[in-house]
Amino acid sequence: MKILILTHRVPFPQNGGYPIVVCNTIRGLINLGHEVSLVSLNAKKHIHQAEQKDELLEKINYRVYDIDASVSLFDGLLDIFSKSTYNISRYYDEIFEKLLVRTVKNINYDIIQFEGLFVAPYVDAVRKNCASKLVYRAHNIEHQIWEMLAEQRSDPFKKFYLRLMARRIKRYEIQQINKFNAIAVFTGQDKNTILYYGATIPVEIVPVGIDLAHYHPDFAKTEFPSLFFLGSLDWMPNREGIEWFLQTFHNDLVNDELRVRFYVAGNNIPEEFDDYDVMGKIFIQGEVDDGLEFVNSKSIMIVPLLSGGGMRVKIVEGMAMQKCIISTSLGAEGINFKNGVNILIANTRDEFFKAIKRCVADEDYCKAVGINARKLVEQQHDVNKVTNILVDLYQSLFKS
How does pLDDT run across 218-251, given as a tens digit for each residue? 999 999 999 999 988 888 889 999 999 999 999 9
DSSP-based helix, strand, coil % in the chain, nearest 5: 50, 15, 35
Residue 144, pLDDT score: 86
- Whether the predicted pLDDT of 63 surpasses 90: yes
Residue 71: CA count within 13 A, CB half-sphere: 13
- Whether the predicted pLDDT of 52 surpasses 60: no
Instruction: Place 13 in a pLDDT band, splitting at 50, 70 and 90.
Output: confident
* Start and end residues for every CATH 3.40.50.2000 domain found in the chain: 2-209+382-396, 213-380
- Whether the predicted pLDDT of 154 surpasses 90: no
Pairing verdict, β 182-185 and 261-265:
unpaired
Strand order in the sheet with 282-286: 282-286, 261-265, 226-230, 300-303, 324-327, 344-345
Instruction: Place 393 in a pLDDT band, splitting at 50, 70 and 90.
Output: very high
Min mean pLDDT across 173-187, 224-238, 249-263 is at 224-238
Question: CA 147, 150, 151 angle in degrees (round to 5)?
Answer: 90
- Whether the predicted pLDDT of 301 surpasses 80: yes
Residue 50, pLDDT score: 45
- What are the pLDDT digits (tens) for 203-221? 999 999 999 999 999 999 9
Residue 51, pLDDT score: 41
Distance, in Å, from the CA atom of 203 to the CA atom of 13, rounded to the nearest integer, reads 30
**What is the number of residues in the chain?**
400
Q: Which fold does the domain 2-209+382-396 belong to in CATH?
A: Rossmann fold (3.40.50)
Backbone φ, ψ for residue 23 (5° rounding): -70, -35
- What are the pLDDT digits (tens) for 321-355? 999 999 999 999 889 999 999 999 999 999 999 99
Let me know: does 181 contact 201? Beta carbons within 8 Å. yes
CATH number for the domain formed by residue range(s) 213-380: 3.40.50.2000
- How many helices (H) and strands (E) are present in the chain, helices listed first? 14, 13
Instruction: Place 84 in a pLDDT band, splitting at 50, 70 and 90.
Output: low
